[in-house]
Amino acid sequence: MSAISVHKGKEKTSRETDNLLEIKNLKTYYPVKGGFFKRTVGNVKAVDNISFEIKKGETLGLVGESGCGKSTAGRTILRLLRPTDGKIIFDGKDITKVSGKSLRDIRKDMQMVFQDPYASLNPMQMVGDIIAEPIYNFTRKSKAELKKEVMDLLDKVGLPPDAYYKYAHEFSGGQRQRIGIARSLALRPKLIIADEPVSALDVSVQSQVLNLLKDLQKEFDLTFLFIAHDLSVVKHMSDRIGVMYLGNMVEVADKDLLYAEPLHPYTQALISAIPSPDPRIKKERIILKGDVPSPINPPSGCPFHPRCPMAMEECSKTKPVLKEVKPSHRVACHLY
Amino acid sequence: MSTKKMLRNEAPLLEVKNLETAFDIEGTDYNAVDNVSFQVKPRQIVGIVGESGCGKSVMSLSIMKLLPKGIGKVKSGEIIFDGKNLEKMSESQINKIRGKDVSMIFQEPMTSLNPVFTIGYQLQEVLFNHMKISKQEARQKAIALLKSVGISRPEKLVDEYPHQLSGGMRQRVMIAIAIACQPKLLIADEPTTALDVTVQAQILELLKEIQAVNDMSVILITHDLGVVAEMCDEVIVMYAGRIVERADVDTLFHNPKHPYTTLLLGAIPKMDEQEERLSSIQGIVPSLTNMPKVGCRFAHRCPKAMPKCFTVTPVLGDIEQDHEVACLLYETSIPREGVK
């Protein structure tokens, strides 16, 4: 159906193509209940038909403005949310429909780092216990072994050993995020989904955490799905970048290609909108009109056409599909 | 260049002298803003940057006299606006200035509008407070103001409630309220932090336009160095309640002198360069109750710290014209005898 699956060919499995994760036409809708009997009266199309893949050891950045569905996509891949349609292939296995014990086994290999370091750590638990819990859940190791492993993890993320006996409130935002990272590493997962891991942090602390994530990726051979709204952070972290708008993937490309030559009008506007931290650079800015429409009632055709400076008649009628216009550069736009 | 020279010779619109704002925590006063002095010239956009907890918002609240009662207070110093000392004014005198000559935009467009009144009501409230104006005129003026901040259907919107608007629209309404009486000074405290980049671009463009049309001065408080580079004429960098560096925008970004400023600039990922590692600052900002009593407050995180940094408090001194730094690496920052 989509251009990618055609491009990849039917007989090749993801194992042969070194893809750790493959997403095919993924859809996640939230039902809108209404009326006296609370029947489903509509859907919030949070993720509406996205496809991409992540190779082993690669970082894919997912950017977009609030409400574009990037977090929902991340949570659906982890199967924290039930996909409405489509396929999630992780490490050669289709995990779209798995449940129970097999889902539990898969979760060991994919972990998440959350946005808010203040809300994602249990205030009643000692940091040592927070990090040990996932290990204990899967391995039932002895207390001494657990402690040794946690100490090791604390050291890896740059926290002092006495952090083991402290509680989350005793740490600053950046340190809490390190605890969250240690917890996500505890089971030596293959894939880490980081959902806005630095957006709650100050610049100087943000750079510490970004450096740490890059170091850990090398050391543990991790694959990242890095979700963020800050384009310069995403560019720093990723190998390839996917741009989302209103539940749709509008452009996927290698990061240098995407920044040097953005093809989709939305990506162009997004990149031009970032204020540059250099007063000598005066750039031509594309100012978009209006706000992002509601995903309950998305516009017909291309979801971006009401705000697009280059909209044509066709754009309001048919929805463009993501297709490869240049090597490793896919875009969903009628201009190409 | 010519406008800059003009600004230099003009009398300042706002002058803050040795401001100290303290918070009362369990009976002890802690200075959130410690001995801060700066000026804002007419028509100038001054950016105040710093990380959370550096005192930038507390300072703006001190200027507006909006500090939480009973907890925060201005301990010493002068705030001179348009020739008048705001510190010596009574509450009723302040009320005449606040919202008229000085007004403010807050960070959270979601919470700074009252949810139970219409947009029109909240706009007219400012007008009634500061002008003799009839109901009919006020409504017309409210519509005109909404139009001037780029709202497309102002006649309908005046009768709507804040929850019916998006974040960007609410921030536009906030700006309309702030400029309703054509203030001489606008304090914008993180005006675009809660907004998406494309909406942020719209709002920044609007602020620039309004600043030019109304001939206002603007104090722009933000943590985003990109926004500062884009908007400001002059930049003040704050750290832990003190000013560490002040310069015009070009000098600050291309010739920073204070180690904190240099590290801060290196910590932002750049769009047009590819660097493997970002420079980072070890450690964290000391908390208000834990502030070092003497010496430079940045010393324990500073890679260039010398022994005297922990014992001598640097003063803000001119190292060249219009470029002030408070760092003991420079002779101008070494305090002279008898001077605090």
Per-residue confidence (pLDDT) for residue A223, from 0 to 100: 95
Q: pLDDT tens, A95-143?
A: 998 888 889 888 889 999 988 888 899 999 999 999 999 999 888 889 9
Chain B partners within 8 Å of A269 (Cβ): 198
Per-residue confidence (pLDDT) for residue A28, from 0 to 100: 93
Name the residue among B303, B298, B301 with its Cα closest to residue B314: B298
Sort B293 into a burial class: Cβ within 10 Å, 0-12 / 13-18 / 19+: exposed
Kindly tell me if the per-residue pLDDT of A10 is higher than 60.
no
CA-derived radius of gyration, chain B: 21
For chain B, which residues score pLDDT lower than 70? 1-8, 337-340
Looking at the complex, report in whole angstroms how far the Cα of residue B204 sits from the nearest Cα belonging to chain A.
10
Q: pLDDT tens, A150-184?
A: 999 999 999 999 999 999 998 888 899 999 999 99
Who among B166, B264, B269 is closest to A235 (CB)? B269
| B294 in reach of chain A (CB within 8 A) | no
- Say what angle helices A173-185 and A127-139 make with each other, to 10 degrees: 10
- Asked if A21 contacts A54 with a C-beta cutoff of 8 angstroms, the reply is yes
Per-residue confidence (pLDDT) for residue B18, from 0 to 100: 93
The residues, any chain, with a CB within 8 Å of residue A231's CB and separated by 6 or more, are A63, A270, A271, A274, B197, B271
Q: Does the distance separating the beta carbons of B263 and A204 come in below 8 Å? A: yes
Residue numbers of B between 114 and 133 with CB closer than 8 Å to A: none
Q: Does the distance separating the beta carbons of A66 and B253 come in below 8 Å? A: no
Who among B52, B202, B268 is closest to A287 (CB)? B202
Q: pLDDT tens, A225-275?
A: 999 988 889 999 999 999 999 999 999 999 999 998 999 999 999 998 888
Who among A206, A211, A232 is closest to B270 (CB)? A232
| A232 in reach of chain B (CB within 8 A) | yes
Q: What percent of chain A has pLDDT over 70?
A: 95
Per-residue confidence (pLDDT) for residue A267, from 0 to 100: 93
Looking at the complex, report in whole angstroms how far the Cα of residue A292 sits from the nearest Cα belonging to chain B.
9
Name the residue among B198, B261, B194 with its Cα closest to residue B49: B261
Per-residue confidence (pLDDT) for residue A63, from 0 to 100: 93
Per-residue confidence (pLDDT) for residue A3, from 0 to 100: 45
| A200 in reach of chain B (CB within 8 A) | no
DSSP B309: G
Per-residue confidence (pLDDT) for residue B7, from 0 to 100: 57
| A331 in reach of chain B (CB within 8 A) | no
Q: pLDDT tens, A299-319?
A: 889 999 999 999 899 999 999
Kindly tell me if the per-residue pLDDT of A55 is higher than 70.
yes
Q: Average pLDDT over chain A, rounded to whole?
A: 88
Who among A65, A207, A291 is closest to B278 (CB)? A207
| A284 in reach of chain B (CB within 8 A) | no
Alpha helices in B30-87 (DSSP H): 56-64
Residue numbers of B between 165 and 194 with CB closer than 8 Å to A: 166, 168-169
Per-residue confidence (pLDDT) for residue A240, from 0 to 100: 94
Per-residue confidence (pLDDT) for residue A304, from 0 to 100: 92
Residue numbers of B between 50 and 79 with CB closer than 8 Å to A: 51-52
Domains of chain B are 2-101+181-333 (3.40.50.300), 102-180 (no CATH)
Domains of chain A are 3-109+189-331 (3.40.50.300)
Backbone angles phi, psi at B6, to 5 degrees: -60, -45
Query: To the nearest 5 percent, what fractions of chain A are helix, strand and coil?
Result: 35, 25, 40
Please report which confidence band the pLDDT of residue A215 belongs to, taking 50, 70 and 90 as the band edges.
Answer: very high
Could you give the CA distance from residue A331 to residue A262 in angstroms, rounded to a whole number? 9
Please report which confidence band the pLDDT of residue A290 belongs to, taking 50, 70 and 90 as the band edges.
Answer: confident
| A174 in reach of chain B (CB within 8 A) | yes
| Number of DSSP helices (H) and strands (E) in chain B, helices first | 11, 12
Residue numbers of B between 228 and 247 with CB closer than 8 Å to A: 228-231
Residue B303 Cα to chain centre, angstroms: 28
| Token code pair at residue A243 | 């741009």
Query: Which has more pLDDT, A157 or A1?
Result: A157
Who among A202, A273, A276 is closest to B197 (CB)? A273
